[in-house]
Amino acid sequence: MHFRIFYKALTMNTVINAHIPLPDKPINKLNKRELKIFRQWMGFDPGGPTIAYPTVEEKKHRAKRERWKSRFAGKGKQEPSLLIRGEQIRHMRANVKKDSAAKKWRDNILKRANEVIAQPNDFFESFIPDTGLWNRGGNFCPNCVHKKSPEGINSYFWKWDWKNPDTLTCPYCHITYPNAKYPENGTLDLPRLQKAYTFHLLKEELKSDDWHLGDCAGRFVNQPIHVSFTGNIRALKIQWAIDRTEDLSLAYAFTGKKTYIRAIEKILQRFADVYAGYPLH
């Protein structure tokens, strides 16, 4: 790992640069004092400074981006860009009267949409988390990895049910997470967002001199990885909520009932409230 790239990225902001008394050289060339500063900035060790958010430079850049966006707002194509158009809806209504497969497809959509609108009014305020998801890259089951399941499963592969949303089940060994046998004993602190992400550390990592180096972590394409069960749960909740907007939209198109639209509004409003705090998009 070369420190120069990391350092150059930080020094693009003069406010940040003022807090980093480090030379532009590889990590293995840093002296003891410099390495301590680096480890604090990387979050390996406590005690590093936290820059007030947002900085003056960040505010200026955001204002610049907003000005750029305003140049193009409302100047796109006028015709709707729809996944399903009115003509297709009319075909569907005709087909459900004569085709059992079409009727089953329509009924399944309405069933899922009706389950959503049957929830309490504040359902999505708690269901959609205010802390973001965990990257699916490198997911694995620590209970059966290399025995029944591969390492680095690059997907949210768990069995999960929105009606019991705070648990995951491995489809290979059927263990359920969170699990006391595999605690989330690592923490990634994001002080500027006032968020903390927890994840599981393998026993081999805890026995090593410094687990932050990743030498004993799980691997994905030879890179260290960590799995967060709570982060995967949040990811599945987020994806489920996003998917429901399509069901609700189609249900409204089929029936004209505005109850479905109001449910979509709640989903979108909740995402609008929390999305800015998601560090991973």
Q: Is 124 part of any domain?
A: yes
For 230-240, how does the pLDDT look when each residue is reduced to its tens digit (9 = 90+)? 999 999 999 99
157 and 238 part of one domain:
yes
pLDDT for residue 19:
58
20 and 126 part of one domain:
no
* Maximum average pLDDT range among 81-85, 87-91, 139-143: 139-143
In contact, 261 and 276? CB cutoff 8 Å: no
Residue 52 confidence (pLDDT) above 70: yes
Q: Is 68 part of any domain?
A: no
Residue 142 confidence (pLDDT) above 70: yes
Q: Is 210 part of any domain?
A: yes
29 and 94 part of one domain:
no
Q: Is 83 part of any domain?
A: no
31 and 161 part of one domain:
no
Q: Is 75 part of any domain?
A: no
146 and 24 part of one domain:
no
Residue 120 confidence (pLDDT) above 90: yes
Q: Is 73 part of any domain?
A: no
pLDDT band at 220 (very low <50, low <70, confident <90, very high): confident
| Average pLDDT value for residue range 77-100 | 84
115 and 180 part of one domain:
yes
Q: What's the pTM value of the predicted model, to 2 decimals? A: 0.82
Q: Is 102 part of any domain?
A: yes
Distance CA 146, CA 115 (A): 39
Task: From residue 219, give the alpha-carbon distance in Å to each of 45, 153, 208.
Answer: 23, 10, 16
In contact, 241 and 116? CB cutoff 8 Å: no
Q: Is 177 part of any domain?
A: yes
Which amino acid, one-letter code, is at 31? N
**Domain range for 9:** 3-42
In the chain, how many domains are there? 2
230 and 100 part of one domain:
yes
164 and 235 part of one domain:
yes
For 147-199, how does the pLDDT look when each residue is reduced to its tens digit (9 = 90+)? 999 888 889 999 999 999 999 999 999 999 999 999 999 998 888 888 899 99
278 and 180 part of one domain:
yes
Q: Which of 34-38, 95-99, 151-155, 195-199 has the lowest mean pLDDT?
A: 151-155
18 and 122 part of one domain:
no
112 and 23 part of one domain:
no
Task: From residue 191, give the alpha-carbon distance in Å to each of 38, 133, 195.
Answer: 17, 17, 6
30 and 120 part of one domain:
no
Higher pLDDT, 17 or 132: 132
